[in-house]
Structure 1
Amino acid sequence: MSQLLLEPPWRPAVLWDQVTLTCQGLGTAGDTTWYRDGQRWWQKGGDHVTVTLSGTYTCDRPGSGHSPPVTVSHDWLVLQVPVRELLEGDMVTLRCRGWRNRTVTSVSYREREKLREPHGGTELSLSPLQLHHSGSYSCKVLVGSWVLHESAPVTMTVHARLELQVSARELLEGDTVTLRCLRWQNNPVTGVRFYHGDEEVGRPLNGAELSLSPLQQNHSGHYSCGGRVDSGVSPWAQSAPVTVTVHVPVANATITPGALAHQVCAGDPVTLHCSVQVGSAPVTFTWLHNGQEVARGPLLELRDIDVGHSGTYQCVATNQLGQDGHRVFRALSPELELEVTPGSPWVTAVAVNVGRTLLFLLLLLAVIGGCHWWHRQGPPQRRGQCWTPTPLPPSGPGLSTGPPRVSPSPAPPRDPQVTNVELSGPCEGQRDPRDCDDVL
């Protein structure tokens, strides 16, 4: 790629500085093509030009392609930063300039949403640079609390002196990963050390690389590296942290409750829960009833079940790992046999007891009714004889007393073959008809 060099080395360049652009790349200088605002500006010219118009410039050298764009500004207020690469630990100066170097006062700088006030003059120094200093900056001129002018924003990027590279970001348990500690633009680095969080994990045997194998889930976390970036006595530099995540395929899917067979009654609610012993998120669950998918999710709730819910149940746990989820892992739980009986034993027992109680009450009522009827009817009357007790003789003065007169005993039963005369009444042939008043 072709490169554009600026003189003076500030960006954005300003027109009143008499900016010179130099194009570097393959091929001869005379074959350089210049572009302004996307249009061909100067074809087959020299490798450097002095800019007289504001705009965005690029150059093209045969075999190198187009250079990154360079902006030449003609605004009333411009914020400039150095063209060079900004590294962690360096010092940088930002300057706010008025049109044609006119004096500006009451300058403030905006770093994203934070305001910074320069300590005298119109320049702002940042030292030592940190990675969090990267961002968008602008400056403005204030008149009281009013903003008179504000510059276009300028993006500033701070690069780490050391960078930790990971050979693969999507890692699975059992894989091998290589950590590389590199200096900015591949400059040499010595005395490299690697850290997992705040703990040192080892020193490389050769160069600035460290291999971790086989990977386990506890290898997940933040890694960084440190080393010396210059020869001799030099400052120590440390890279920004890089997150390493070791993904684990799902395994050992189970269903709770854990028994492999259950007997439930129709109408009873049943809830089954599926889980895995290990497995990186996200994990999805699918329920099978007799081999057919019936639901998804870790819980399977069966309400108002009937005998049709009987059968075998299994859950399938799945997680998709790797870039774009192209590696799919599944774990199948043991089968759970569910048997649904038509009725509840509790309900059956209650029904039997109620039936027995009703039968007992009916028998008791029958006995009470029979006794009551028996007492109302009384003993049966004896027919076919007439018997009247003999009155006792009167007692008193002048009356003789003697042994009581005994009434004759009743006649023995007659022959069942009665005559017409006997059918006229039980007392026919008695001397005194009054003796039969009780019978009649």
Structure 2
Amino acid sequence: MWLLTALLLWVPVGGQVANFTKAVIILQPPWVNVFREENVTLWCEGPQLPGHSSIEWFLNGTTIQTSTPRHNITAASFSDSGEYMCQTGLSAPSDPVQLEIHGAWLPLQPSKRVLTEGKPLTMRCHGWKNKLVYNVVFYPNRKPIKFSDRDSALTILKANMNHSSVYHRSGKGPVPSPVPFTSTRVPVMVKGLQSLISVLPYIIYYTTLTLQFLLHMYVCVGLCQDLPSELNWNWESASASDHGEEVTSENPKDI
């Protein structure tokens, strides 16, 4: 039954190769750039064996001590920056999540650096220790696209490949200053969806494997049901022969 489950998990769905066995990391709060001394939680989601809940966590390719679905970072420091991955009992390793800890007063906080076309993208304007930021302007590839008097976020409900860019933003702090603060530049990449034609061979291949498995199971069940009656008939025939009795076939297969 586990083989059938594994095969079904790889069957392509909706025009994409659906790799449901890959673990997924979810950030809370959902920003890949965070301030020093802030708290961050990473959640690992993925299929598990019944009765097992252990998780492997990796930071820059090295296993870390956490073995639960939740990895907490309290009062984040620069040493917490890096590439995080996780893996559950029945999953492949997750896609890497690059977490950066900043000491700058005005970092740009995107929800993701890499995302799939059609997914939402949010970039937040957020000052150090929740200080207000005024006159906020967002720039993709140095071109201003949004202005706000107060702290705000740039939200793209359905990102497409045209939204791939290098973003930064500018803003002023609570003390009036003729020169606005400018964040570091953050690249964001939107990946396109695969076409149905490109995944058609995967659909045929994995569907065929699943049907073969079901056919073998059906044959096996049929053989197992016939085996006890054949063994019982053979035993009775042998017993009658030992007593010199004539053996009359009652095996349904001889009729």
Give 1:43-58 correspondences, 5 Å limit.
45-52=67-74, 53=76, 54-56=80-82, 57-58=84-85
Instruction: Please tell me whether residue 151 in structure 1 is matched to residue 214 in structure 2.
Output: no
Matching residue's letter, 1:40: T
1:33 corresponds to which of 52, 56, 61? 56
Distance 1:31 1:23, change over 3 A: same
Q: Deviations over 1:389-410 (max 9, x none)?
A: xxxxxxxxxxxxxxxxxxxxxx
What is the aligned length? 164
| TM-score for the superposition, normalised by structure 2 | 0.50
Partner residue of 1:64?
91
Asked if 1:20 is matched to 2:53, the reply is no
- Kindly tell me: are residues 158 and 13 of structure 1, through their superposed partners in 2, closer, same or farther at Cα, counting changes over 3 Å? farther
Partner of residue 113, structure 1:
142
User: Whole-Å Cα distance in 2 between the matches of residues 127 and 35 of structure 1?
Assistant: 31
Distance (Å, rounded) in 2 between the aligned partners of 1:16 and 1:135: 29
Whether contact under 8 Å (1:79, 1:154) holds in the other structure is no
Give the superposition deviation at 1:13.
4.7
Output the amino acid matched with 2:145: R
Q: How far has the Cα of 1:87 moved from its partner? A: 5.3
Aligned equivalents of 2:155 and 2:72: distance in 1?
31
Q: Is the 8 A contact 1:79 1:138 kept in 2?
A: yes
1:99 matched residue in structure 2: 128
Contact 1:79 1:95 in 2 (8 A): yes
Change (3 A) 1:33 1:164: closer
User: 1:115-156 deviations in whole A, cap 9, x for unaligned?
Assistant: 234233232445665632232212234553x45442340415
In the alignment, structure 1 residue 133 sits paired with structure 2 residue 163? yes
Counterpart residue identity of residue 33, structure 1: E
CA distance in 2, matches of 1:139, 1:97: 11
Q: Which residue of 1 aligns with 2:27?
A: 6
Higher helix proportion: 2
Tell me which structure has the larger Cα radius of gyration. 1
Query: Residues 159 and 123 of structure 1: is their aligned pair in 2 closer, same or farther, counting only changes over 3 Å?
Result: farther
Question: In structure 2, what residue type is equivalent to 1:58?
Answer: M
Q: Secondary structure at the match of 1:106?
A: strand
Query: Does structure 1 conserve the Cα–Cα contact (< 8 Å) formed by 2:135 and 2:147?
Result: no
| Higher relative contact order structure (alpha carbons within 8 Å, sequence separation ≥ 6) | 2
Q: Which range is displaced more, 90-99 or 103-112?
A: 90-99
Q: Secondary structure at the match of 1:46?
A: coil
Shift of 1:100: 2.4
Higher fraction of strand:
1
- What secondary structure is seen at the aligned counterpart in 2 of 1:100? helix
The amino acid of 2:164's aligned partner reads: S
Match of 2:5 in 1: none
Taking the aligned partners of 1:48 and 1:154, their CA distance within structure 2 comes to: 27
- CA RMSD after TM alignment: 3.6
On the 8 A contact 1:58/1:70 being kept in 2, the answer is: yes
CA shift for structure 1 position 111: 0.2
Letter in 2 for 1:49: H
Query: Matches of 2:154 and 2:136 in 1, distance apart?
Result: 14
Q: Deviations over 1:10-64 (max 9, x none)?
A: 3335555522111122435643122223332215x21112113331222222442
2-structure distance, mates of 1:167, 1:26: 26
Structure 1 CA distance, aligned partners of 2:70 and 2:107? 24
